[in-house]
Amino acid sequence: MAKILNIGSLNLDYVYAVPHFVTAGETLLSGRRDVFPGGKGLNQTVAAARAGAEVLHGGAVGADGDMLLDLLRDAGADVSAVARVDVPTGHAVIQVSPQGENAILILGGANRAVTAETVGIALEKVGPGDILLLQNEINGLDYIIRRAFEKGLRIFFNPAPMDASVKSLPLGLIDTLIVNEGEARALAGDMDALKAACPQQKILLTRGSRGASLWTGSELIFQPAFPVEAVDTTAAGDCFLGYYAAALAENLSYAAALRLAAAAAALSVQRRGAAPSIPIRSEVEAYLRGIK
């Protein structure tokens, strides 16, 4: 079985309940504050670990990042390649109105302080054929992609949150590009244009309740979403990707990996929260056995 290395974001989400969003010059009393683990990197590592993969997380946290490391350990991930840095852990300040709308302010913090040394320590722990997961929430992506490619890793890149910097990255070195429809449009226009722009890459297009499509380079495989009543889709995409990577790490077929990932995502959207919503492998397999 291949290992999975995720060099990805680790965030603390500070969520404040407010009667309305703060306006310029206003001081507003919040009725409640909750602190949750967050970051696409963290969510994807938790998903891959709960799927049963051997997962190593690389990245950085500040002195306030203990709860994130504890969560990763509890999920079964190795956090020995997470550096402690002298800046705050990446975090988000989120205002939530009574109508459920939100306004979000993000500080990259430690996620933007990943060093070449930290990357090197992480890459020493994996080898050719292992999988590297990357998202667009940390610094140094160009360097990481090039070093990982030299080492023979299969690079799975999820360019979220999408911005102009993604187009300057060496995308020709990655194995699989994972995008939603908006990201595909931003990169190339549509799926066909993206395939033409990235002819050597596999492309996994996620479309929420309309399922997912994988272009392998020779065939298009479609996996419909399982019909469920969603209550919170926050981490659905990260859950899907983590499970998909874990399935490929254990040499399942593309079709089987997509089905397992879709089932995991279907369970996650029926639960509230991000990382807490991600199911363990036995739950996903039981769900699939129950489908006629």
- For residue 282 the two structure tokens come to 């036995």
What pairing do the DSSP bridges indicate for beta strands 154-158 and 131-135?
A: parallel
Distance CA 192, CA 185 (A): 10
Number of H helices, E strands in the chain: 9, 13
Q: Is 74 annotated as catalytic? A: no
Residue of 162, 36, 252 whose CA lies nearest to 263: 252
Distance CA 92, CA 70 (A): 19
Which one of 13, 78, 130, 238 is the catalytic residue? Answer: 238
| Cβ contact 59:10 at 8 Å | yes
List Cβ neighbours of 99 (8 Å cut-off, separation of 6 or more): none
Active site residues: 238
